[in-house]
Structure 1
Amino acid sequence: MAEAPLHQMTLRPADPADWPAIAALTQGCCPRTTDVPERLETWLLGEAGAEVVGAVELEPVGDIGFLRCVAVDRRHRSAGLGKELAAAVESFARSKGMNELCLLTTAAVPFFAARGYRVDNRADAPAAVQATPAFQAGNPDTAVFMTLRLDGRANHAAHIRSATGEDANAILDIYGPIVRHTALSSETEPPSVDEMRARIERALPELPWLVSHDERGTVSGYAFASRHRERAAYRWTVDTSICVRQGCREQGIGRRLGDELLKQLVQRGYRQAFARVVLPNEASIRLHRALGFESVGVFKSAAFKNGAWRDVSWWQRQLQDLPPQPAEPVPSPQAGPAAPNTRPAGA
């Protein structure tokens, strides 16, 4: 079958006769389609010529549209109909007075990010959206919450600031799944919110801890430094860690966090920075190379997690010259006396 030209795409409300087409389109890619006939008013059909090639479920929640499903006929995906269908839905939502679209997805983050959707903290979703059965059914560890402004306001702008104890929840939202589902952290259980808050507050008087956030304050990543070792001779050396929220990666956020972290370490008088990368992790290796780190070795089978022994590579960057007698590192200008630091999230 020839691929339908994009300009032939039209969008219309579904009717009862469309149920078989919706069921066929959404099979295997959208949950809970068995009750489609009961909520048929939330479905829209995308047509190219006389053929139904896409289906969208758009649930109105006040002035927000909750995209529960976006499905395109597999035969036509290479023709760009997914983008055309998404654009048609966004236009339809604006015409109905919706100011924002939101969705949960596990596999389509890059697709929606390319359209300007941003990853948001699930806890910051409007209460009416959180109350919907579809939102509650989304796996909090794997389903990424994304939003798109439709009213002309900026949807994404990354800013970096010093973290506070109040960021503990947002940081755990990023760090918790890493602990539970990957070997990238040596912790086996995520810390509590109180423990995370305490880690941040203990670190800040002496070492930087940064968060990246958008114009609404949603945290997309964090970076921090901790003491490399506790003994006095190591006081010019730090370990570093950078974590970016799933769905916000490959957008330069980690690089900006890392650049600012290293800049602040230089300003405070630190001389050497190390980073630990559990293998395999090509994304982290690319990031550390971009930040000027060099590989200095691999500890073979140094950690056991998730049923396997893990190699751990170490990376080093010299931050500034190494004088015969370096000046003492200085704490943050706005902080009080230095306090003992423990190794926080990501260690």
Structure 2
Amino acid sequence: MSAGRAEVQVRPGNEGDLVALTDLYNHYIRETAITFDTEIFTPEQRRPWLLSHPEDGAHRLLVAQDVPSARILGYATSSGFRPKAAYSTSVEASVYCAPDAAGRGIGTLLYKSLFEELQNEDVHRAYAGVTLPNEASVRLHTRFGFTPVGTYREVGRKFGRYHDVAWFEKELEH
């Protein structure tokens, strides 16, 4: 698959990706309010998260990898929305791109692959939370058929200020 002039492979994430995925996520912890985690992770601390996304089922982890260099350019997940059993057909979707890969179509490529795979699973709805402002993420989610369902005002505090989170919903077709 091609994304922004480079050949990019989308595949399931695996333990060999743990260090690169942890480094990518830690960038967003240190530098942005996109995630409300405030302490960086070691790869070992992040391992349970990785293992909670098997290659099949409703909870997936897909990575975008540059083919020539094998460098991870981003990842997308579908994770449990809430722990109670009645929520099992709902997932929370998210996508993170390496800072220098943003704007190259990596997020689009990852979400396209993720939602294609979820078509064969017992998933009825996908939800996504977007810390505001984040026009690129709002555009990406809208492009994939997510619609706004509400905004939690000043729900998280990071870097000494409060942040709103807009929530989006997507019906998954089977």
Give the equivalent residue in structure 2 for 1:159. 9
Q: Deviations 1:137-190 (Å, cap 9, x if unpaired)?
A: xxxxxxxxxxxxxxxxxxx31110000011111112211111011111010012
Aligned counterparts of 1:218 and 1:168: Cα–Cα separation in 2: 12
Q: How many residues align?
A: 168
Aligned counterparts of 1:202 and 1:235: Cα–Cα separation in 2: 14
The question of whether the paired residues in 2 share the 8 Å contact of 1:180 and 1:190 is answered with yes
The one-letter code of the counterpart of 2:42 is S
1:190 aligns with 2:40: yes
The one-letter code of the counterpart of 1:202 is S
Aligned counterparts of 1:198 and 1:229: Cα–Cα separation in 2: 17
1:221 aligns with 2:107: no
Aligned counterparts of 2:167 and 2:20: Cα–Cα separation in 1: 28
TM-score scaled to structure 1, two decimals?
A: 0.47
Give the equivalent residue in structure 1 for 2:51. 201
Aligned counterparts of 1:283 and 1:219: Cα–Cα separation in 2: 20
Q: Deviations 1:313-335 (Å, cap 9, x if unpaired)?
A: 001100026xxxxxxxxxxxxxx
Name which of 10, 14, 31 aligns with 1:181. Answer: 31
The one-letter code of the counterpart of 2:167 is W
Aligned counterparts of 2:27 and 2:105: Cα–Cα separation in 1: 21
The one-letter code of the counterpart of 1:228 is F
Aligned counterparts of 2:91 and 2:127: Cα–Cα separation in 1: 6
Give the equivalent residue in structure 2 for 1:312. 165
**1:202 Cα offset (Å):** 2.4
- Map 1:62-211; keep pairs closer than 5 Å: 156-204=6-54, 206=57, 207-211=59-63
Name which of 73, 92, 98 aligns with 1:245. Answer: 98
Aligned counterparts of 1:277 and 1:270: Cα–Cα separation in 2: 21
Aligned counterparts of 1:196 and 1:316: Cα–Cα separation in 2: 27
TM-score scaled to structure 2, two decimals?
A: 0.91
The share of aligned pairs that are identical, in percent, is 31
Where do 5+ consecutive residues of structure 1 fail to align?
1-113, 117-155, 322-347
Coordinate RMSD, CA, aligned: 1.5
Aligned counterparts of 1:195 and 1:226: Cα–Cα separation in 2: 17
**1:203 Cα offset (Å):** 2.3
Aligned counterparts of 2:52 and 2:103: Cα–Cα separation in 1: 30
The question of whether the paired residues in 2 share the 8 Å contact of 1:167 and 1:197 is answered with no
- Map 1:280-295; keep pairs closer than 5 Å: 280-295=133-148
Where do 5+ consecutive residues of structure 2 fail to align?
none
From the CA coordinates, give the structure whose radius of gyration is larger: 1
Aligned counterparts of 1:241 and 1:219: Cα–Cα separation in 2: 16
Aligned counterparts of 2:114 and 2:28: Cα–Cα separation in 1: 21
**Secondary structure in structure 2 of the residue aligned to 1:277:** strand
Q: Deviations 1:58-82 (Å, cap 9, x if unpaired)?
A: xxxxxxxxxxxxxxxxxxxxxxxxx
**1:269 Cα offset (Å):** 1.9
Aligned counterparts of 1:238 and 1:166: Cα–Cα separation in 2: 25
Aligned counterparts of 1:159 and 1:248: Cα–Cα separation in 2: 14
The question of whether the paired residues in 2 share the 8 Å contact of 1:244 and 1:253 is answered with yes
More strand by share: 2
**Post-superposition, which runs of at least 4 consecutive aligned residues in structure 1 deviate over 3 A?**
none
**Secondary structure in structure 2 of the residue aligned to 1:177:** helix
**1:199 Cα offset (Å):** 1.2
